[in-house]
Structures are given as C-alpha cells and as structure tokens.
Amino acid sequence: MSFEPKGMVKHALYSLLVIVGDLSAFYLALWISYILRVDLLSRWIPVPFTRSFESLALRVWMPLMMVVVFAYEGLYAKRVPFWEETRAVVKALFLSFLAIFSIVSLGKFSSEVSRAVIVNTGIVCLVLLPLVRMKWKALLHTMDLGTKRTVLIGDSPIGRLAHQGFFRDHYMGIRLVGFVTVPERFQIQSLDGGSESEEQMGQTPSLDMLPPLPCLGTLDSLSDLVVREGIRGAVVAAPALRRSDLARLVEKVQRSVFSVYMVPNISHVSLLNSELLYLFYEEMFLVGVHNNLKSRINRWFKESFDISLAILLCVPLLPVLITITLLLKFSSTGPVFFAQRRVGQNGKIFSIYKFRTMHYGAEELLADLLANNPSLEEEYRKNRKLRNDPRVTAFGRFLRRTSLDELPQLFNVLRGEMSLVGPRPAMEVEIKKYYQELESEYGLVKPGITGLWQVSGRSNNDFSMRVRLDLWYIKNWSLWLDLVILVRTVGVVLGRKGAL
C-alpha cells in the first residue's frame, strides 16, 4: 500500500480548515457574549473589567486551549455521525471552558477577563459550534476536502444497505464510489439468503436520490484501482461469511487501502451503548453491551429531566394552551380535550390527553367509514390512522400539522404517566397485535410525547416499523439520545414533515 503525499496534504489542509472553523465559531460566540455583558447587562450590573473586545480576543491561549482539548478528543481525526460528534463536542467544550474558567479564577485575571463572558461564551458555543461545523464541513466536502473515497467489496443487499447509510449520513465524508466483484469462494450472502437486508431497506426511509454503484473491477485488481481512482477505504459487508473466509478477505483488502469497514454478524444486538474490549494473548475481541435502563440512577435522571423540562415548557406555552382551548370551544361542538386509554409503563393503563381534532362522536363514525371504504380500511389496518381522515375538522388539521394537539400530554408527563421521549403510547389492542411476546419490552419505559419514529419519517412509517423503532430506542436508551430526539423533533415539527 502506497501512502499518497497528495492525499496526506489534503487531509492536513482539511484538518487545518476545520480548526479555522472552530476558531471562527469561538470568536463569534465570544463577541456575542461580550456584547451581551457590556452593552446590555451593564445597564443593571456594573462591568468589573475595563478591557475592550480586541484586547480580550488577543488572549489566544483561550481558543488554543479549546483546540488542544478538541484534538485530544479526536475531533480532528475521527469520522463519526453528526450527533455522535456533537456529543464529543459538548464534552470537549465543557472540559476546555472549565480549564479556561479555572485559569481566570485562580490566576486572578477577573479584572481583565470577565468570568461571566467566559461562561456565556461556552453556552453560546454549545449551539453555535456544532452548527458551524455542520455547514463548514459540508462546504469543504463539496471542494473534495475531508472526503474518503471508498469501495464496496462485492455487490450484496447488505452492502447496498451500507451504501444507503453512508449516503444518508454524508457528514462523515465517506463516499462509496463503486463496487468490485469477488471470487466465488468469497460470494457474499446475507444471513438468511437476502430477505433480512431487503426487509431492512424496505423499512428505512426511502432515498429516491440514492445513486447506483458502478462496477469498478474485480477484487484482484483492487491495488491498481486504489491508485487509479484514489480509493482510501473499503466496506466489507459480509456478515454471513465463515470466520476464516472473512479473515482472508479482510486481510487481502487491507493490503491495498487505509481503512476497512466491516459489517459484523450481530445486526440485532443493540450496540449504541457498547464498548470494545481486547484480550491480547487470546487475540479475542469482546463487545460489552450495556442496558442503561437497568441503572436506577439513569432512570432517576430521565424522570427528573422530564419533570423539569415539562414545567419549564408549561410556563411559556400557557397562553398557547388557553388560546387553543378558546378556539376549540367556539369553533366546533364537543369537549376541548380528547382522552383515550393507553398502555403505560409495566402495562399500567392510563388516559392520554390531546386537544380534540375531530368532529364530536368520531369514534362511533369510524366503523361505518371503514365498512364503506375498503381502501381506508386497509390503510387503517396498516397504520392505525388515516392520512386524509374525513372526521378531522379544519382547525384540527392545523393542530395536527403543527403537532399542537399533543401539548396537553405535558400534563401526562407531570402526572408521571408519560415521558417527553419514549415509545409511542399504544392501545391495548395494538400491544396484543403488534408487540405480541415483546409486550414486556414495551413496558420497560414510559411512553413518550415524541420518539424515534416521529423523527424517522413519522406517519410515513407503517405500524410495524414504529414497533421496531420503539424497541430499538428502549434497547439503546441514553439521556443523550433523548436530547437528540427532542432537538430533531423541533426540526420535524417546524418542517411539518410526516405530521398527520
């Protein structure tokens, strides 16, 4: 394998430009915090320092401290999805600003550097820096900086699924440019003859713009292909190969490229909260899988987070709740709230509350509606709801499009019946029909106002897909995952994607 100087220069240039982006975000956050402290808060709280923004900006040790911590955390070398990188960015920002704050306090620089400005800069960076990184990296990728041209070994359904994943998560910069055919002894099959991977592709959100992968040659010509096409990585998606065949295949591929990405034969194991252990003398890897919900402390954190955020949300949303209540009262006949029995944690039945979006007596009309419309009956059987439901009022459609109809569920959260994030609240008949023997898994956590299925296509997914996503969430739960889903929910609601 030859190390191409041109590729190394481009990689170094990319890392340098990412650092420039981080420094730009830092100084923008510093300027915003300085303006807030000096021009706004100074009207009520005297400014204890006399330095100008220019003199503050010249203290380069502060942004350099951040860059050093970022480099230590691998934020200029690793290729990970956006939210995983954001998690590392949050950790690195906390450590770097803790160090900066400590130096300012212990070094008695508070007359020259405002600690309030430092804290506010760190808070602004939590939002600003990930956004700058997202836009800046996308721009660099369009200039062919930071991308890794990668080839798929073999053409299989699992490999095409990997192609779909890399295409969707373009933030990592891994670009599959084609595939190479493999000898018959390395023929790549899925675990059950192809049905599993095809089912997964059918259940993931469709990508109409997914480009087809061209055949670039054979496995034996990989070395020449690497030089000709500038290939730096390879994806081996062959979980069903025998261990000895897989080892020989990876060894052969590894001679030609910098990185080999393998799809392991553990597709149904929850790996989001996992760690990799290595037993040196035994030449053995162990994958440690953690169930975060087994921890009493984690469950307490989740419940405390739910209650605290629900209380904070109720205060600014109170005028909205009152306005919707009055509009519902005067726009249509019937009660303001709609209550329905749902299954909660440990199988406990509770009443879920929503703003009424249908004409009064809609439940009684459903049977007649389905009996006279076979297509609607099929849609309801598949999704447990109708996309163009004639029972929905005009104002109800607005509430559903904006998801404002679900605001009363904040009171379910305050009553301890629901969580902000969790599985979709299901009815008893849905539990028996769709979850079946996995009913106990569903009952491990409280159902949520939002969840993984809402930010993964929402009503565009059928009910079986919702069950799969709910179970994945339960097995891979973490507080960070809840935060990611909440942020993505805001984007989905504002974009009105998939709402009914």
DSSP 118-158: HHHHHHHHHHHHHHHHHHHHHHHHHTT-S-EEEEEES--HH
Q: For 225-252, what is the mean pLDDT?
A: 86
Nearest one of 95, 56, 50 to 72, comparing CA atoms: 95
- pLDDT score recorded for residue 56: 81
Residue 363 counted as domain residue: no
Residue 92 counted as domain residue: yes
Residue 229 near residue 198 (C-beta atoms within 8 A): no
pLDDT band at 158 (very low <50, low <70, confident <90, very high): confident
Rounded Cα distance between 357 and 334, Å, is 10
Same domain, 172 and 117: no
241 has a pLDDT exceeding 70: yes
Same domain, 114 and 257: no
Residue 423 near residue 473 (C-beta atoms within 8 A): yes
Same domain, 339 and 247: no
User: Residue 5 to residues 8, 12, 230, 246, 491: CA-CA distances in angstroms?
Assistant: 5, 11, 12, 31, 42
Rounded Cα distance between 52 and 38, Å, is 10
Q: Which residue has the higher pLDDT, 94 or 365?
A: 94
Same domain, 181 and 325: no
| Degrees to nearest 5, angle at CA 140 with 139 and 143 | 95
Residue 12 counted as domain residue: yes
Q: How many domains would you assign to the chain?
A: 3
Rounded Cα distance between 332 and 406, Å, is 18
Q: Which residue has the higher pLDDT, 64 or 491?
A: 64
- pLDDT score recorded for residue 362: 66
Same domain, 426 and 303: yes
Same domain, 189 and 238: yes
Same domain, 79 and 200: no
The CATH code of the domain that includes 156 is 3.40.50.720
Nearest one of 198, 136, 208, 209 to 161, comparing CA atoms: 198
443 has a pLDDT exceeding 90: no
Domain interval for residue 167: 148-268
Residue 287 counted as domain residue: no
Residue 230 near residue 220 (C-beta atoms within 8 A): no
- pLDDT score recorded for residue 203: 46
- List, for residues 11-25, the tens digit of each pLDDT value: 889 999 999 999 999
Q: What is the mean pLDDT of the chain?
A: 83
Residue 384 counted as domain residue: no
- pLDDT score recorded for residue 430: 85
Domain-terminating residue out of 113, 142, 171: 142
Q: Which residue has the higher pLDDT, 40 or 10?
A: 10
pLDDT band at 192 (very low <50, low <70, confident <90, very high): very low
Same domain, 137 and 228: no
Domain-terminating residue out of 229, 253, 268: 268
Q: How many CA atoms lie less than 13 Å away from 247 in the CB half-sphere?
A: 3
Residue 289 counted as domain residue: no
Q: For 373-391, what is the mean pLDDT?
A: 70
Same domain, 22 and 69: yes
Domain-terminating residue out of 73, 108, 142: 142
Lowest mean pLDDT among 53-57, 91-95, 292-296, 379-383: 379-383
Same domain, 31 and 126: yes
Residue 343 counted as domain residue: yes
DSSP 323-379: HHHHHHHHHSSS-SEEEEEEE-GGG-EEEEEEE--B-TTHHHHHHHHHHT-HHHHHH
Token code pair at residue 323: 């306005």
Q: What is the CA radius of gyration of the chain?
A: 27
Same domain, 353 and 482: yes
- List, for residues 39-85, the tens digit of each pLDDT value: 666 666 666 555 677 888 888 999 999 999 999 999 998 889 999 99
Residue 124 counted as domain residue: yes
Q: Which residue has the higher pLDDT, 87 or 332?
A: 87
Residue 96 is which amino acid? S
352 has a pLDDT exceeding 70: yes
Same domain, 341 and 326: yes
194 has a pLDDT exceeding 60: no
